[in-house]
């Protein structure tokens, strides 16, 4: 009777990994899309579709994970943490999709150097999240997982500097107010991708995985979940 309510040991972690893979694929497509702006409209359209497909697939994975969660009597980690991880990964995909949609919505035909750099940094941060997620079921790799989280924080700081430089140059050099509004919106949406990646990273509990490292102060930083322990039944 209860066997049907007992998920296989790695079932949730497989879902996390699949979800994170979609995030990394979408992040890579976003980065390539930004480099193609002003070069190949056809390739930009194709990459936007690639992002949409990854986001749609991610929605399916999130739904499957939540259904699995509600059907499971015992879970390998805390239920709230499972929900937090899958929701955080979904948020990353949503923000990346926003970048693709903004290109069409704002009719952006060419990316600034700062926008391309922010997209590259964001894709790198999402890849670091993917690597950290892949280690969630392995306590022996706790230090490595936390190093990936630390790298995400550092990339956020780097992106903040690029954002400030881009905004400064935009207001100094751009004379068209419509173009200012478009690019300002693009910069903010790219920043949102970094915030989503950093938001999930900051939710990764460290107690039980090893000593937490110092986190940089961030105005949107959420409270970290203090416990991360694999259920001894698994």
**Concatenated DSSP letters for 150-184?**
HHHHHHHHHHHHHHHHHHHHHHHH---HHHHHHHH
| CB proximity list for 195: less than 8 A, separation 6 or greater | 95, 156, 220
The answer to whether residue 2 is domain-embedded is no
| CB proximity list for 38: less than 8 A, separation 6 or greater | 109, 110, 111
Residue 185: CATH number of its domain: 1.20.58.220
pLDDT at residue 141 in the model: 80
Of the listed ranges 24-28, 134-138, 155-159, 202-206, the one predicted with least confidence = 202-206
The answer to whether residue 128 is domain-embedded is yes
pLDDT at residue 202 in the model: 65
The answer to whether residue 217 is domain-embedded is no
pLDDT at residue 230 in the model: 45
The answer to whether residue 151 is domain-embedded is yes
pLDDT at residue 77 in the model: 80
Report the number of distinct structural domains present in the chain. 1
The answer to whether residue 55 is domain-embedded is yes
Residue 184 sits in which domain range? 7-203
- Cα–Cα distance, 119 to 98 (Å, whole number): 12
Q: What confidence tens digit (pLDDT) does each residue in 80-139 have?
A: 888 899 999 999 999 999 999 999 999 999 999 999 999 999 999 999 999 999 998 887
> Looking at per-residue confidence, does 148 or 207 come out higher?
148
The answer to whether residue 67 is domain-embedded is yes
Q: What predicted TM-score, i.e. pTM, was given to this entire model?
A: 0.83
The answer to whether residue 112 is domain-embedded is yes
């Amino acid at each position: 009777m209860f066997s049907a309510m007992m998920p296989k040991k790695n079932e949730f972690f497989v879902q996390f990994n699949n979800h994170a893979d979609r995030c990394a694929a979408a992040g890579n497509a976003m980065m390539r899309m930004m480099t193609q702006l002003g070069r190949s409209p056809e390739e930009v359209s194709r990459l936007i579709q690639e992002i949409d497909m990854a986001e749609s697939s991610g929605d399916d994975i999130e739904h499957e994970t939540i259904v699995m969660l509600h059907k499971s009597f015992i879970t390998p980690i805390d239920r709230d943490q499972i929900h937090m991880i899958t929701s955080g990964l979904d948020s990353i995909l949503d923000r990346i999709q926003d970048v693709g949609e903004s290109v069409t919505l704002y009719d952006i035909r060419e990316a600034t150097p700062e926008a391309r750099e922010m997209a590259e940094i964001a894709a790198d941060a999402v890849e670091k999240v993917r690597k950290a997620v892949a280690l969630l079921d392995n306590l022996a790799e706790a230090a490595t997982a936390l190093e990936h989280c630390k790298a995400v924080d550092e990339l956020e700081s780097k992106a903040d500097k690029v954002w400030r430089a881009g905004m400064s140059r935009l207001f100094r050099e751009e004379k068209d107010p419509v173009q200012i509004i478009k690019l300002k919106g693009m910069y903010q949406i790219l920043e949102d991708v970094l915030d989503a990646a950093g938001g999930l990273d900051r939710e990764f509990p460290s107690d039980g995985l090893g000593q937490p490292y110092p986190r940089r102060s961030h105005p949107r930083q959420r409270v970290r979940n203090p416990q991360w322990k694999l259920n001894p039944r698994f």
